[in-house]
Chains A and B, each alone.
Chain A
């Protein structure tokens, strides 16, 4: 079936996928005989979105033709950030990039060039490839430390799969849990249909969120209006309830997880089998066989012949080692029980500002459902304790028996292939992945913070150039004033984007980026079982080029043998393992590359060192917190951790980054049909708190934090939808809207990330506390 439908009058319908967010909904682009995009509608053939379409996608024609778009390569004239530009050709731009980068590479090595991105618009592996082929080190810089990677990394480490986000199977679920997620907005055209269909089937709905102005909060069977950053205590209480009420999936926990591992009763370290048995692999581990009441090698149940009945509730036993010594041992399960022992519903309720009975009721709804899915997102990620929290939620999925089953959290193979070394050229050896910034032991790239430091201090080595492809670090990064400082100091800054963002305003060279309607690409992330040929509907307007073409052009200049001669060649690298070409994918538009099969782990095992779901993690045991299990840990900037005088001055909790339904991070505030829906930056404040502070609705206020570099300005949205001690404030505000007469917000004056510390991180994942910091509000006199 051809993916372009031609009409007699010369017009056509082009099947492609939207990329005004990560959902990549199938769309039909109507193009007239002159090649002008006239209309975009949802494509009913998309098995996910089924033709539904959100406000951003609907606005594609407006975004394509937005007068604020960058249309030509430009070079800075005069001083940096002075707003003076001269138009140059693409050849001039690429010549200058090549010449200057080669000069820096000769002076201080290829690693002095850093590549960065924002959302990546689907290009993540290609920008990584650029970094690795040009700079030879993995200092690709992105907001992944606060978005997606905390879940992706934690799940890959604990389970060797990524089974939330598009893995949360709402369509077949009997109980949908929205935990720090708002997927009916953020991936609305796709997820809202699924959730509503399931609610028609009387599926239960649990919403765990500090904000009641959540589209599902009022519809939920259980709404837990949690104190930001304490979700870990709630998750631990659920784990305790699973065990106490004996509602967990015994078979799954015994056969398919590391929780029956035999560990030292004192240190909780797993006992190597080589200490007990001769002639076994040095990495082999032990379990306790309930049937023979003796220690045994950990059985691998993917082998149908495997024997053994791993014990969980072992108590403490004495184990004699080969060297004749004896030690006290127990199971990882017993250790987990110890970790959650004091997290009663009552204690969790106190920590989380919830009612104990509500915690128990919601738990029972989840535990009793035959098939239950958990959707989690930035609301669980952007905390300094997020590894422990996501690890705990993974454990809950396992206890509930909901891993890799329909209606639960399913394993989509794409995520295992996404950062394949054949695409990224990333070395598989961790020590060879050389990155800047070591705040997160497991974070697999440079942190922004590490790169800005290197630019400003020359340590651990000099960074001369930053090349940003579709990203605005001044908006996405914690402590953006530091980003501005670094970008003012750097020798060479190149930014490719739709708009002259605050990062682009500081650049030496600005490059015009093509919209999705103008680019040939592959839609794959978040596409579950499917792959799409995301072809262009129109030729790029003016001199815009797609991100992937820019990667290729720069790659061709600086690492020519690693980059093909055209874009299709690049895309074919990704498609090679499926035995298809981009031409074929484009012709089909949609291909069913990953048909879903339940419980793949039964035959393939989990992709972890033990081939089990590692809720006792043999990987987390060795770096970061050096803790294989979960434990309670409050956010680093919280009532529990800050001095009394700081809490007295900053008595409110700040949760930032709640998504808009009409913007994609900092983009599209200049598009009138979208901007009309949210004309100005508003923070949410409870009426009693507002009254105490003398703040009227809509009043302009200052928000400050103990770690902040400056107070920022936003207007008050007074709402009963938040707890009196919680403030919810949005990110991404810099752009005005000329057509509506709305001004810019220059110099980070409304940039909420100015309040977020760049010193307080999750030690495993490098995630800052964007959703759990402290703040105070004052009205502007």
Chain B
């Protein structure tokens, strides 16, 4: 080696590359509720989540499992409100989509995730009508209904995060077992609970995705 030692930058051990996007936490024995938390104050509308989701899950053109919406600008220039709202399946505790599904293709896992069984779905779209959040799409190519699966193929059990969380440029997305106080999501939620909200709670489906209100730019929210 011909160069000074201080040129070197600390690096991970080879095995750590496999585990980096995992969160290794002590289990508590309580029932799990995998939850997504999105801090709207930090979302900068870069849509990294939206594209990462499509690439990770190989989602077809024209279909979106997660989508960043621009809310506003509302008001008169330059006194305006404006924020970004990433929307995707809310993984409700009492999901209407599960209730209305005639073939039980839509179901809820023990960990709190709502999934669609592709073998059972025949594209009747009852779930699309029932969902208060407009986050389900009928894929025109397959005729089946699709939506966010929280990257269920990833190893949630061992703390692996969904692609949208891994990519988030603003560090506004958190994922994990909200019932376990040792997780990052539970800690972040506890520190910012004053800004927490659920979207359209009045529909009674008990959405599990937690949003944190923007500190500015959303006076009517």
Contact = CB atoms under 8 A, between A and B. Distances in A.
A53 B76 contact: no
A526 B169 CA distance: 18
Interface stretch (A218-226, A560-568, A767-775): A218-226
Interface in A1-41: 1-2, 5, 13, 28, 41
A10 to B, nearest CB: 15
A184 B46 contact: yes
B12 A580 contact: no
Contacts of B46: 54-55, 184-185, 188, 192, 215, 661
Specify which of B21, B62, B70, B73 lies most central, judged by the most chain A CB atoms within 10 Å of its CB.
B73
Interface stretch (A300-308, A546-554, A645-653, A720-728): A720-728
Contacts of B84: 215
Contact of B169 (A61, A189, A578, A580): A189
A314 B20 CA distance: 62
B50 interface: yes
B48 interface: yes
Contacts of B2: 579-581, 584
Interface residues of B, number: 54
A573 B77 CA distance: 52
B166 A42 contact: yes
A624 interface: no
A45 interface: yes
Specify which of B17, B45, B51, B64 lies most central, judged by the most chain A CB atoms within 10 Å of its CB.
B51
B44 A216 contact: yes
B51 A212 contact: no
B2 to A, nearest CB: 6
Specify which of A13, A219, A595 lies most central, judged by the most chain B CB atoms within 10 Å of its CB.
A219
Interface stretch (B91-99, B102-110, B130-138, B209-217): B209-217
Contacts of A184: 44, 46, 169-170
A591 interface: yes
A196 B80 contact: no
A58 to B, nearest CB: 5
A86 B62 CA distance: 36
A45 B9 contact: yes
B14 A5 contact: yes
B201 to A, nearest CB: 24
Interface stretch (A240-248, A397-405, A673-681): A673-681
B7 A591 contact: yes
Contact of A215 (B45, B55, B171): B45
Contact of B77 (A54, A59, A724): A724
A442 interface: no
Contacts of B217: 217-219
A662 B47 contact: yes
Nearest to A3: B11
B1 to A, nearest CB: 7
A694 interface: no
A698 interface: no
A592 B14 CA distance: 21
A52 B81 CA distance: 27
B143 interface: no
B82 A188 contact: no
Interface string B139-183: 000000000000000000000000000111111100000000000
A421 interface: no
Contacts, number: 180
Given A184-B170, A719-B73, A218 B50 contact: no
Nearest to A187: B169
A658 interface: no
B48 A196 contact: no
A739 interface: yes
A53 B169 contact: yes
Given A662-B47, A720-B76, A196 B42 contact: yes
B17 A13 contact: yes
B8 A55 contact: no
Given A28-B17, A739-B61, A59 B12 contact: no
A283 to B, nearest CB: 38
Contacts of B55: 58-59, 61-62, 673
Contact of A59 (B17, B41, B51, B172): B51
A592 B61 contact: no
A593 B20 CA distance: 26
Contacts of B31: none
Interface residues of A, number: 69
A590 B2 CA distance: 16
B10 interface: yes
Contacts of A61: 55
A49 to B, nearest CB: 9
A540 interface: no
A42 B9 contact: no
Given A42-B167, A185-B44, A530-B9, A720 B74 contact: yes
B169 A677 contact: no
A587 to B, nearest CB: 9
Interface string A737-766: 001100000000000000000000000000
Contacts of B14: 2, 5
B195 interface: no
A697 interface: no
A13 B17 CA distance: 9
A655 B149 CA distance: 41
B52 interface: yes
Interface string A583-607: 0100011111101000000000000
Contacts of B82: 212-213, 217-218, 721
A677 B51 contact: yes
A670 to B, nearest CB: 13
Contacts of A722: 77
Interface string A660-692: 011000000000111011000000001000000
B32 interface: no
Contact of B72 (A62, A189, A195, A720): A720
Interface in B184-221: 214-218
B39 to A, nearest CB: 9
A219 B216 contact: yes
Contacts of B64: 676
B78 interface: yes
A193 B169 contact: yes
A163 to B, nearest CB: 23
B10 A213 contact: no
B36 to A, nearest CB: 17
A47 interface: yes
A502 interface: no
B80 to A, nearest CB: 5
Given A5-B14, A591-B7, A721-B77, A218 B167 contact: no
B9 A588 contact: yes
A44 B44 contact: no
Given A44-B12, A219-B214, A592-B6, A55 B47 contact: yes
B88 to A, nearest CB: 16
Nearest to B217: A218
A532 to B, nearest CB: 10
Contacts of A223: 78
A662 B55 CA distance: 14
A47 B9 contact: yes
Interface in B52-67: 52, 54-55, 61-62, 64
Nearest to A671: B51
A572 to B, nearest CB: 12
Given A676-B64, A677-B50, 16 more contacts: A47-B9, A55-B51, A58-B55, A58-B167, A184-B169, A192-B169, A212-B78, A215-B46, A217-B217, A218-B82, A225-B77, A530-B9, A580-B2, A591-B9, A592-B6, A677-B51
Interface of A: 1-2, 5, 13, 28, 41-42, 44-45, 47, 51-55, 58-59, 61-62, 184-185, 188-189, 192-193, 195-197, 199, 212-213, 215-220, 223-225, 530, 578-581, 584, 588-593, 595, 661-662, 672-674, 676-677, 686, 719-724, 739-740
